[in-house]
Amino acid sequence: MPNVFIPAQLRDLTGGVTQVEAEGGTVREVIAALENRYPGLQARLCMGDQLSPGLQVSIDSTMSTQGLRAKVGPHSEVHFLPAFGGG
């Protein structure tokens, strides 16, 4: 199962858990599994049918542009990170 690293600002919903295994083949499925275990997490990660503005997802150290549709492997590491802007 993918290993999901919980950002500090969401750990109030996980009881302080910093990482957890969550089933899923896409980011959407992983978030749904997290929501089943930690209600309220999905509302903080998603806005409608997209990742919340200001968030990006990194899968196996690669920033994804696919959002919730991004594929996640069975041994992937998933990180939810603040989006970085350039200028």
- The pLDDT tens digits of the residues spanning 6-46 come to 999 999 999 999 999 999 999 999 999 999 999 999 999 99
Answer whether 15's CB lies under 8 Å from 5's CB.
Answer: no
HSE (side-chain half, CA atoms, 13 Å) at 84: 6
Model pTM? 0.91
Superfamily of domain 3-82: Beta-grasp domain (3.10.20.30)
Q: How confident is the model at residue 83 (pLDDT cuts 50, 70, 90)?
A: confident
The confidence score (pLDDT) of residue 3 equals 97
CA distance linking residue 63 with residue 56, whole number of Å? 7
Max distance between CA atoms of the chain, in angstroms, equals: 39
The confidence score (pLDDT) of residue 85 equals 60
